Amino acid sequence: MRRIRIFDTTLRDGEQAAGGALTFDEKLEIARQLERLGVDCIEAGFPATSPGDFRAVEAVCEFVKDCQVAALSGAKLPNIETTAKALMKAKAPRLHTVLSTSDIHLNYQLRITRDHALDMAVAAVKLGRSFLPEVEFSAMDAARSDREYLCRVFEATIAAGATVINIPDSVGYMQPHEFADLVAYVMSHVPNIDKAKVSVHCHNDLGLATALSLAAVREGAEWVECTVNGVGERAGNAALEEIVMAIKTRADAFDCETGIKTEQLWRTSRMVASYMGFPVQLNKAIVGGNAFAHASGLHQDGMLKDRITYEIMTPDSIGRTDSRLVISKHSGRNAFRDRLKALGYELDDDEFMRAFRAFKEIADKKKDVTDGDVEAVVADQVLVVAETFRLDRLQVSCGEPSIPTATVLITVADGTVMQDAATGSGPVEAACNAIDRIVNLPIKLVEFTVHSASSGSDAIGEVSVKVESAAEGTFVGRGASTDIIVASARAYLNAINKVVTAGREREAGHGRRAAPFAVLASPAVNA
């Protein structure tokens, strides 16, 4: 059966989603999970945009062993060199270079001729191949490009050494039948197409990214570029889980398969949603909270008689279960470690002890501890930045008609203990205001999300916040607790600590964000 290769760009195109920035450690943890998921290639970042992105790509290259690692570069030659350098430690590196081919982009954005663009593309591929054995060329906005010219560019870049050519619908413009026709046209009008693999990269501006990608697969595309949960620029990218499960569920229609371990999809989705601060909508296909929920009496009747009546796939097939930990406050380290291993976590000794202590605290407060609780504990205790500010105590007074008031006690990294109080329209705002009085940083809270990690009145509440710093950008903070106000304060401080860390790294020349760059230096942001 034909094998479809999955190219995951969550760490690159996914992170370009507004407010979706990831920390260094979060990128490594997602890379670890993507490798466990079985993707064929991880696009780890855009090294030329910032020292922080360069470091992250390098780290993923050293870390990942079971799949390819790619990095994106614009077509300017210095950027190609930088990207190749970042990929040197990868076991199986792929340099991914991109340049627009549509007259819309050439005339209005890049302001160069077709011939100039073709020359740039060829030079970029040639230089990339001088460093690495695998180079992918993407024709950005291929969907709106002149087909004859597009084929000229592909023919020339393959002749220059491109091993993969990518056909993107960079703005989600096409209908599925149109994109299928475009892929078929390229495959039949590029004379040396047999010397390269064909890939597609579709955006979701009209809600058709998955449909476009699947239409391309039916026409012979070998690689599909996508992201977990469909995160990405604007309306996002084709959703990995949708593509994979469509191919698996309808093998009769596609006559192909992927190498994805689908039982890892649920965990991967939850991880990306948590780290990026983008909760998955309840009715999202495959990984939404209601994807396997049946409310209609008619549907429930059918499910009771035979699940096949209304389920075309099972929750187990994506790793979604309602399993519960049969451990309690009396459980020891070995039982907890075994459960962590079953959930896919590999913690060092220090990380394990932090998670275990937090687990014990939760177990003292709850009758039962679920897998969701454990995942929340790990996210809250392990994947944390250096604590410049640590929340030691929080007391809140609220009710009707009193004014919500919060008192916080915070320990600073140098050992200084600071206490202050503030009021707010509610207890969460009061706690954040009190924290603001202590840390005194110019940040703005722009988003606040809370959800339950498990069921029941004693469930752990997971809070995700987004803050904006004019100097450092947008950061996501997370916190978890059976007390939702405590979880909120932890999440807010977590985001603040990330802002402080980013400022220090920037001052040291290792910041994750770059200054504005020229269009030609990186024309690939929407590839």
**16 and 95 share a domain?**
yes
Pairwise CA distance, residues 125 & 132, whole Å: 10
Q: What is the pLDDT of residue 384?
A: 61
The two three-digit tokens of residue 367, written as one number: 């009758």
Pairwise CA distance, residues 90 & 84, whole Å: 10
**281 and 298 share a domain?**
no
End-to-end CA separation in angstroms for the chain: 30
Q: What is the mean pLDDT of residues 408-427?
A: 94
Pairwise CA distance, residues 336 & 354, whole Å: 12
**331 and 478 share a domain?**
no
In tens, the pLDDT along 227-246 reads 999 999 999 999 999 999 99
**51 and 171 share a domain?**
yes
**63 and 206 share a domain?**
yes
Asked whether the beta carbons of 325 and 359 are under 8 A apart, the reply is no
Helix (H, G, I), strand (E, B) or coil at 322: coil
Residue 517 lies in a domain: no
452, pLDDT greater than 90: no
Pairwise CA distance, residues 417 & 455, whole Å: 36
- CA trace torsion 509, 514, 515, 516 (10° rounding): 160
Percentage of the chain lying above the pLDDT 70 cut = 89
- Closest to 436 measured CA to CA, from 461, 460, 469: 469
* Position with higher pLDDT, 255 vs 522: 255
In tens, the pLDDT along 154-167 reads 999 999 999 999 99
Q: What is the mean pLDDT of residues 436-459?
A: 82
Q: What is the mean pLDDT of residues 119-148?
A: 98
**58 and 205 share a domain?**
yes
Q: What is the pLDDT of residue 369?
A: 72
Q: What is the DSSP letter of 171?
A: T
The model's confidence at residue 520, banded by pLDDT at 50, 70 and 90, is very low
Contact partners, residue 311, CB within 8 Å, separation at least 6: 292, 303
The two three-digit tokens of residue 245, written as one number: 């499960």
- Count of domains forming the chain: 4
213, pLDDT greater than 70: yes
**214 and 348 share a domain?**
no
Q: What is the DSSP letter of 519?
A: G
- Closest to 225 measured CA to CA, from 60, 38, 40, 22: 40
- Closest to 481 measured CA to CA, from 340, 379, 336, 333: 379
The two three-digit tokens of residue 135, written as one number: 């180079």
Q: What is the β-pairing status of strands 405-412 and 389-397?
A: antiparallel
In tens, the pLDDT along 253-288 reads 999 999 999 999 999 999 999 888 888 988 999 999
**307 and 279 share a domain?**
no
112, pLDDT greater than 90: yes
* Position with higher pLDDT, 124 vs 467: 124
Residue where a domain stops, chosen among 285, 313, 336: 285
Q: What is the pLDDT of residue 279?
A: 87
Residue where a domain stops, chosen among 337, 356, 381: 381
Residue 513 lies in a domain: no
Q: What is the pLDDT of residue 329?
A: 64
Residue 524 lies in a domain: no
The CATH number of the domain holding residue 81 is 3.20.20.70
**397 and 500 share a domain?**
yes
Residue 279 lies in a domain: yes
- Closest to 485 measured CA to CA, from 402, 382, 395, 361: 395
* Position with higher pLDDT, 155 vs 483: 155
Range 437-441, long-range pairs (CB < 8 A, 24+ positions): 438/389, 438/408, 438/410, 439/389, 439/410, 439/496, 441/469, 441/496, 441/499, 441/500
Q: Alpha carbon 60 to chain centroid distance?
A: 14
In tens, the pLDDT along 9-33 reads 999 999 988 877 788 989 999 999 9
The CATH number of the domain holding residue 483 is 3.30.160.270
344, pLDDT greater than 80: no
Residue 526 lies in a domain: no
Residue 481 lies in a domain: yes
Asked whether the beta carbons of 309 and 303 are under 8 A apart, the reply is yes
527, pLDDT greater than 60: no
The two three-digit tokens of residue 31, written as one number: 């890379």
Residue 18 lies in a domain: yes
The model's confidence at residue 143, banded by pLDDT at 50, 70 and 90, is very high
The mean predicted confidence, pLDDT, of the chain is 88
Asked whether the beta carbons of 282 and 290 are under 8 A apart, the reply is yes
**213 and 261 share a domain?**
yes
**218 and 271 share a domain?**
yes
The two three-digit tokens of residue 434, written as one number: 């009190």
**458 and 343 share a domain?**
no
516, pLDDT greater than 60: no
Domain residue limits at 424? 389-507
Q: What's the number of CA atoms in the CB half-sphere (13 Å) around residue 161?
A: 19
The model's confidence at residue 524, banded by pLDDT at 50, 70 and 90, is very low
In tens, the pLDDT along 354-389 reads 888 888 877 777 666 777 777 777 766 666 667 899
Q: What is the mean pLDDT of residues 43-50?
A: 94
Q: Is 0.75 surpassed by the pTM of this model?
A: yes
